[in-house]
Amino acid sequence: WDFLILFFCLPVVIFNEITKKRLLGDVSCRIVPFMEVSSLGVTTFSLCALGIDRFHAATSPQVSTRPIEQCQSIIAKLAVIWVGSMTLSVPEILLWQLAQDTSPVSGVMTEYCTMKPSSNLPESIYSLVLTYQNARMWWYFGCYFCLPILFTISCQLVTRRIRSTEKKSECRGPKHGQCESHLNCTIIALTIIYGLCTTPENVCNIVVAYMSPDMSKRTLDLLNLINQFFLFFKCSVTPVLLLCLCRPLGQAFMDCCCCCCEGCGPDTASSEGSADSKLKTEMSSSIFFDKPRETPPPLLALGTPC
């Protein structure tokens, strides 16, 4: 979803700031806010799911008793996160619309997006969208800011409490305990980045809600632009942070890139070296993601086919 934000929303915003014309017209006015709010929802619920996963990893008696999660289960969780986030963002499609105004400086007709429900909506839907608009500020602050931060902090505190009281590290081994600590640090880093990038938007929403009559339209547009670029910064930093902190994921990403660059016919020496590196990656990832293995897998079963 971060890549969707960067490849679709960022060009639309930049084009609008340069030409003062809205790319794709009224469609972009509705889709861009919908995707941006959905991005906040995906990150929020993903952090909550990761916190629950770390809690289960800390409360399991032994590594060997924790079953490997099936791919269907993971896809189902991702589907719930994505569909739930997009469902909660549907009011954004009905809330925004395209407007035109003449610039007092240049005298040129400019297009901009305004937060105003269309009067053509049915009365029941119009009242619901209007209610959402009035509660939008506190909904943003409570669901997309307080929920992921408080949930992550709570899960980390409970996890540390359980580990300190029951001394799980004795039955898990020092290497596995170190990998779990590394995963916890990754989740904390993701939460910190998310909190820092969403704080300006929540502060601006609260300030604008109480001081909007005293602020000019140019100031409001500038604040909205700053908030959008903080979101773009979060979407660009999060994948890099994951690839750097999560070593097996980063190594798998590099292996895929090398496979695409080198082609499907490497020589014998390079294939042996890549097989050794993939064996180490597979063994480290099996420990890193709580996947127990008693014996290393055969070399022929390793790697990703080109």
Outline where the chain has alpha helix (H). 2-4, 10-19, 26-59, 71-88, 90-95, 123-141, 147-166, 169-172, 174-211, 217-245, 247-262, 268-288
Q: Looking at the domain covering 1-60+71-165+181-259, what would its CATH class be?
A: mainly alpha
**Burial per residue of 266-279, b for 16 or more beta-carbon CB atoms within 10 angstroms, e otherwise:** eeeeeeeebeebbb
- Collapsing DSSP to helix, strand or coil, 13 comes out as helix
* pLDDT, tens digit (0-9, with 9 covering 90-100), for 115-142: 888 778 888 888 888 888 888 888 889 8
**Burial per residue of 87-114, b for 16 or more beta-carbon CB atoms within 10 angstroms, e otherwise:** ebbebbebbbebeeeeeeeeeeeebebe
Q: Average pLDDT over the chain, rounded to whole? A: 76
Rounded mean pLDDT for each run of 10 residues along the chain, 306 residues in total: 87 84 82 91 90 77 62 88 92 84 69 80 86 87 90 84 64 59 81 89 82 71 84 88 77 78 50 50 46 48 49
Residue whose C-alpha is closest to residue 39's, from 2, 71, 7, 75 = 2
pLDDT of 80: 92
pLDDT of 285: 46
How far from 106 is each of 20, 63, 102, 289, CA to CA, in Å? 11, 67, 8, 58
pLDDT of 41: 92
Q: Name residue, tokens 């909660």.
A: 88
Give, rounded to a whole angstrom, the gap between the first and last alpha carbons of the chain.
25
User: What is the DSSP code (8-state) at residue 245?
Assistant: H
pLDDT of 175: 58
How far from 219 is each of 107, 112, 204, 216, CA to CA, in Å? 19, 14, 11, 5
Residue ranges per structural domain of the chain: 1-60+71-165+181-259
Residue whose C-alpha is closest to residue 87's, from 34, 33, 26 = 34
8 A C-beta contact, residue 180 and residue 57: yes
